[in-house]
Structure 1
Amino acid sequence: MENQRNVILAIGLMALVLFGWPYALEFFYPARPATIEDAVEAPRPGLKNSNAVPDTGTAPKVIRERKAVIAGSARVPIDAPRVAGSINLTGARLDDLVLKDYREKLDKNSDLVHLFSPAGTGDQYFAQFGWIGEGVTVPTSQTVWTANGSKLTQKTPVTLSWTNPAGQRFEITYAIDANYLITVTQRFVNTGPAPAIVRPLGLINRTSANADPSTWTVRNGPLGVFDDVADFDVHYDDLDENPKKLVEYTGNIDWLGFTDHYWLSALIPAPDTKGQMAGNFRALGGKLYQSELLFDTTVVAPGRQIETKSMLFAGAKETELLDDYVDAKNIKLLDRAVDWGWFIWFEKPIFKLLNWLFEQVGNFGVAIILLTIIIRGLMFPIAQKQFASMAQMRAVQPKMKALQERYKDDKQKLQQEMMELYRKEKVNPLAGCLPMFLQIPVFFALYKVLLLAIEMRHQPFALWIKDLSAPDPLTPVNLFGLLPFDPPSMIAIGVLPIILGVTMWLQFKLNPAPMDPVQQQVFSIMPWVLMFVMAPFAAGLQLYWAMSNVLTIAQQKWLYSRHPQLKELAAKEAAEKAAKADGKGKA
């Protein structure tokens, strides 16, 4: 009975951790102070309004097709190892960026992921670099720039230049690496007769119409790292509801931008400019939002120039790549763009092990099975102790019943005597639930890995399982696809969840039946309830749990042979149950 209670307790705690942990964090760790209630920074000396909205132009009222907008403007092509697209010479905008390694859908013929799209399209999303100035004519969103190269590649940077009517020159140099990092150098040369006041900036402008929604497990939307702390507390709705439509950060800006489930765009100051800028999140209305990186205002004397360097990350949130940028480029906490949460210390090792297994076998489903075997193997010594504890607990059941009868009216004395019995018999009543407790962080870590890691996106296993990051698509509710309708997710029980429920039922059947009738009923329905609960989860997680159940059954079979008293007791209880049922039938 104690062991069965421990199992129920452990499963309840697993559900509590899985579904309640994020809410607990919000309660015990409230939002950092620098959020939408913060006051807007006072204007800096030299500029009358340093918080003016940077010029991004007005998007056309009529939404236009992406291809038509791109074709109708002069551009510099981008052809890097992992991205393609173009730079719009009007406004010097990076507003056309395609990720070569990822497709929108599972179908191999579907479109590549378009991360950036021009203003005026349904998926408006672009980056722009420029200046705010006083006493100087600065380029605007309508400025047409001149390029010194025909194509931006990993080996050939491109410099855009524009000279204002006073002869003062502005330059923006774009250089891209082998992945998703673009280095931006902004240069202002004051060839005029008087000092000029300028403030370099970079911005990312996007619509929320195509943004991934935030959930209790995955944070999407405005995101940044400020003073070495990742701020997950600003949402699109917060910016809309804020009277100032603005959240500003000062001090040490590590990076800021927008994150979706698998994609990230981030403005990153060069390491030697830390502490010399401000960062904003801004609502522009009409579901348009902006993240802004503003450098300090500088007075540039005649005949002098200033140069500012920053970086733009625009691409997939690949875990190892983000880690590499943290180390190689000194971009602090860029890996937090993946919302690992407070279990990052355990989730990332699980990911690294799973990813390494995938590299060895070439199939993520097989890698998950191997991961399950490794985890069960590491916990096998604990499982042996669990079964030994079960055997000991069953052996002292008659003595425990006797104590319960003797001290049924004195609960305190009963507890004392039971503790003494445990001590004499060397029984640990909590040992039986230890393996289940150890499974909780593993289960939760794998859940987060499968949910967050883009490395799992669109990864097949075998047969009908084409995407381990999505629920099992095959369900008997529509006769495995023969009937022409898609059942609601609540009842769309896939094959893997059914296998999970059956294997859990078999696992419970191998355990000695609890003596409490209520517990018997709980254990009889629990596998089928969990089957429905797990149906909407990723197929990879279902595969892990079902495989874990199969290994547990095999483990139990073997351990029963090592502890015959358990097997005999189970057989005896089954016989008693059958006899009792037979007696009721005759009556």
Structure 2
Amino acid sequence: MDDKRNLIFAVLLTGLILFGWPYVASYFFPTPAPVTSSAKTATSPAGAATSDVQVEAAPAKTQAVPLSSALQSTARIVVETPKLKGSINLEGAKIDDLLLLTHRTALAKDSAPVRLFAPSGTKDAYFARFGWAGTGVTVPDDKTVWTPSGNKLTPTTPVTLSWTNSLNQKFDIALSIDENYMITAKQTFTNGGTAPVEIANFALLSRTGKPADATSGGSIFTHIHIGPMGVFDDKPNYDWGYVDVAENKGETSFTSTGGWLGFTDKYWLGALIPDQKTPVSAKFRASGDVYQAQVIPTRYTSVAPGAVLNSGSRLFAGAKEMAVLDAYSKKLGIPYLDYAIDWGWFWFIAIPFFWILHWLFGLFGNFGLAIIGLTIVVRGFMYPVAQKQFASMAQMRAVQPKLKALQERWKDDKPRLQQEMMKLYKDEKVNPLAGCLPIVLQIPIFFALYKILLLSIEMRHQPFVLWLKDLSAPDPLTPINLFGLLPFDPPSFIAIGILPILLGVTMWLMQRLNPQPMDDVQKQVFAVMPWFLMFIMAPFAAGLQLYWVMSNLVSIAQQKWLYSRHPALREQMARDAQEKAAAKAKAGS
């Protein structure tokens, strides 16, 4: 078995499945038009399950309000932390204005920070709200104007929002925020009335439209979960997308004790985190282009006159920084919050390799150097596998003359040929499948690294050297426009950057070091494969391209070293080449 030929076949086949299947599926199995509906408001008897309570109706589609007008039209309190800046709308107690200060919309340092939340009615509305649902009580709604205890929410200055209804029943939301992305809401209901009430606290996320990454059919993001997600009863659930929720009669519900739910984008996350010891009903809803996530206890609590009900929940609103998510999971006991990053099937490989990459980034201070360091670590880890595979290839090469003799002798008796070949393998102690097993072991590592470099927000807008200013974007320098000298941007499918070209060249060099295929057609296929993969990889992030180029260079060095330890293989290759040349010359004469 030839190491690189099999590896290329495996990568190419997997790539065709990943990127070709969406086109096939969309053609032969078209997705039905989404079915949208509005869930009806339900009321529950005292103490009954609240899973059908509609805590807030999705707003009707209207002409979008300018963001500046929406922010100025209502009273607000300021939100200010090292990583977040924005405001809370006192009408409805909505957290609807959040900017991520450490992440920019573009590469330029003076570009605007990423906006995560925006007020209701704006083009990309996205907000959270904490409130109550109940029977026999007038609860605050999305139009209620709250009274704050202060004018600024910071890590050192919590704020309490208060409102009292006409029966002297008081509602308080004590908000606190840390230095990262977690907001804690402690909700208190004080029954100052004369009759008992049935009540429960809820938390809500609402967003209008889908993020740009949540495209369908043929996108490179089709195998990355972007959309509704939750952890229910200690199990991550990636089964629901935006279209799935819309098609499922407008909503889908879960019950769980602990966990969380929300909307995960490629780099950002909005998540509702209920009390981890309270049984809750979680729900995703869709109405038109408005999507909501809701969480509410499964049963109302009876609150007698003069009694107080305390409850609480949390909101994560920020970037999917692995270290931050992992810290919340461990310190706050939030299960699988770090699984908002969809590591895929090979998470058990991806997560340790991510921490190695993260450590290397801290060591070098440059993400490109960290990727090169990770490549060396991975290739070093796989060296015993490569050595074993190379030894197997040497053994197979050594028995090639005997195999050819058997093929010539028994060419008209296939069953006998198979018997004689198996006997030869046994006598020579050669396992023809030994070279294939290492290839199988390398495939999970390849996909784990692919996920890391594709999803890691730590790589976003990170420079390497010279023209590589953003490793999360494709290599921008292409000879098609004479490396930017000609004033036009070529189409993406022909904008082959320097890194993809190096990828093709290094793969071609690897093939030159390997034994050439015996079959002429196979030889032609392998001859064009490096240049084919060069075009396939061109639209990918430069970080991925850098990893593959570096991996090829390390592989070439390893091959040189292994050839020095197996001189018989090099000699056999030279003899095979001479015999083939002689046979070709004889056929031509």
TM-score using structure 1 length: 0.90
Say which of 268, 272, 294 aligns to 1:267.
272
- Which shifted more, 559-568 or 330-339? 559-568
1 CA distance for matches of 2:49 and 2:110? 50
1 CA distance for matches of 2:193 and 2:18? 60
1 CA distance for matches of 2:533 and 2:421? 34
Q: Which residue of 2 aligns with 1:13?
A: 10
1 CA distance for matches of 2:466 and 2:153? 42
2 CA distance for matches of 1:137 and 1:495? 65
2 CA distance for matches of 1:81 and 1:345? 32
Distance 1:234 1:388, change over 3 A: closer
2 CA distance for matches of 1:404 and 1:49? 75
Residues 452-508 of structure 1 deviation map (CA, whole Å, 9 limit, x = unaligned): 121121111111112222222222222222233333322222111111111111111
Residues 78-128 of structure 1 deviation map (CA, whole Å, 9 limit, x = unaligned): 112221111111111101111121111122111101111111111200001
Q: Which residue of 2 aligns with 1:218?
A: 224
Q: Which residue of 1 aligns with 2:75?
A: 74
Q: Which residue of 1 aligns with 2:355?
A: 352
Partner SS state of residue 372, structure 1: helix
| Superposed displacement of residue 17, structure 1 | 4.2
Q: Which residue of 2 aligns with 1:316?
A: 319
| Superposed displacement of residue 18, structure 1 | 5.0
Say which of 365, 372, 390 aligns to 1:387.
390
Instruction: State how 1:36-115 maps to structure 2 within 5 Å.
Output: 44-46=44-46, 50=50, 51-55=52-56, 58=59, 61-115=62-116
2 CA distance for matches of 1:407 and 1:584? 23
Mapped contact 2:343–2:350 kept (Cα < 8 A): yes
2 CA distance for matches of 1:326 and 1:202? 20
1 CA distance for matches of 2:527 and 2:582? 19
- Which shifted more, 522-531 or 471-480? 471-480
2 CA distance for matches of 1:272 and 1:13? 46
Say which of 353, 371, 378 aligns to 2:381.
378
| Superposed displacement of residue 205, structure 1 | 0.8
| Superposed displacement of residue 569, structure 1 | 3.2
Q: Which residue of 2 aligns with 1:138?
A: 139
Mapped contact 1:512–1:569 kept (Cα < 8 A): no
Matched, 1:424 2:427: yes
| Superposed displacement of residue 419, structure 1 | 2.1
Partner SS state of residue 309, structure 1: strand
1 CA distance for matches of 2:273 and 2:386? 49
2 CA distance for matches of 1:581 and 1:465? 47
Letter in 1 for 2:8: I
Residues 369-388 of structure 1 deviation map (CA, whole Å, 9 limit, x = unaligned): 11111222223233333333
Mapped contact 1:106–1:458 kept (Cα < 8 A): yes
1 CA distance for matches of 2:64 and 2:150? 31
Q: Which residue of 2 aligns with 1:31?
A: none
Q: Which residue of 2 aligns with 1:32?
A: none
Q: Which residue of 1 aligns with 2:263?
A: 258
Mapped contact 2:232–2:260 kept (Cα < 8 A): yes
| Superposed displacement of residue 52, structure 1 | 4.4
| Superposed displacement of residue 289, structure 1 | 1.3
Distance 1:323 1:247, change over 3 A: same
Letter in 1 for 2:291: Y
2 CA distance for matches of 1:464 and 1:157? 45
Distance 1:52 1:366, change over 3 A: same
Partner SS state of residue 230, structure 1: strand
Letter in 1 for 2:187: Q
Distance 1:57 1:417, change over 3 A: closer
Letter in 2 for 1:370: G
Letter in 2 for 1:260: D
Q: Which residue of 2 aligns with 1:541?
A: 544
Q: Which residue of 2 aligns with 1:293?
A: 295
Matched, 1:247 2:244: no
Residues 206-232 of structure 1 deviation map (CA, whole Å, 9 limit, x = unaligned): 112445315332111111111222222
2 CA distance for matches of 1:355 and 1:380? 23
Number of aligned pairs?
Answer: 568
Matched, 1:343 2:346: yes
Say which of 359, 366, 369 aligns to 1:366.
369
2 CA distance for matches of 1:268 and 1:403? 69
Partner SS state of residue 97, structure 1: strand
Letter in 2 for 1:12: F
Mapped contact 2:500–2:534 kept (Cα < 8 A): yes
Q: Which residue of 2 aligns with 1:190?
A: 191
| Superposed displacement of residue 579, structure 1 | 6.0
| Superposed displacement of residue 234, structure 1 | 2.0
1 CA distance for matches of 2:49 and 2:478? 60
TM-score using structure 2 length: 0.90
Q: Which residue of 2 aligns with 1:449?
A: 452
2 CA distance for matches of 1:226 and 1:415? 54
Q: Which residue of 2 aligns with 1:234?
A: 240
Residues 411-449 of structure 1 deviation map (CA, whole Å, 9 limit, x = unaligned): 222222222222222323233344433332221111101
Q: Which residue of 2 aligns with 1:165?
A: 166
Residues 37-72 of structure 1 deviation map (CA, whole Å, 9 limit, x = unaligned): 9x9998532289953432468478332222332133
Q: Which residue of 1 aligns with 2:414?
A: 411
- Which shifted more, 533-542 or 346-355? 533-542
2 CA distance for matches of 1:459 and 1:96? 27
Partner SS state of residue 174, structure 1: strand
Distance 1:145 1:224, change over 3 A: same
Q: Which residue of 1 aligns with 2:33?
A: none
Distance 1:255 1:438, change over 3 A: same
Say which of 523, 526, 542 aligns to 1:523.
526
| Superposition RMSD in Å | 2.8
Distance 1:241 1:109, change over 3 A: same
Mapped contact 2:40–2:54 kept (Cα < 8 A): no
Matched, 1:400 2:397: no
Mapped contact 1:211–1:221 kept (Cα < 8 A): no
- Which shifted more, 204-213 or 111-120? 204-213
2 CA distance for matches of 1:112 and 1:532? 33
Distance 1:110 1:59, change over 3 A: farther
Instruction: State how 1:410-489 maps to structure 2 within 5 Å.
Output: 410-489=413-492
Letter in 1 for 2:560: K
Residues 144-167 of structure 1 deviation map (CA, whole Å, 9 limit, x = unaligned): 111112211112211000111222
Q: Percent identity?
A: 56
Instruction: State how 1:503-582 maps to structure 2 within 5 Å.
Output: 503-575=506-578
Distance 1:392 1:233, change over 3 A: closer
- Which shifted more, 308-317 or 78-87? 78-87
Q: Which residue of 2 aligns with 1:155?
A: 156
2 CA distance for matches of 1:251 and 1:91? 27
2 CA distance for matches of 1:90 and 1:573? 82
- Which shifted more, 171-180 or 508-517? 508-517
Q: Which residue of 2 aligns with 1:29?
A: none
Mapped contact 1:510–1:556 kept (Cα < 8 A): yes
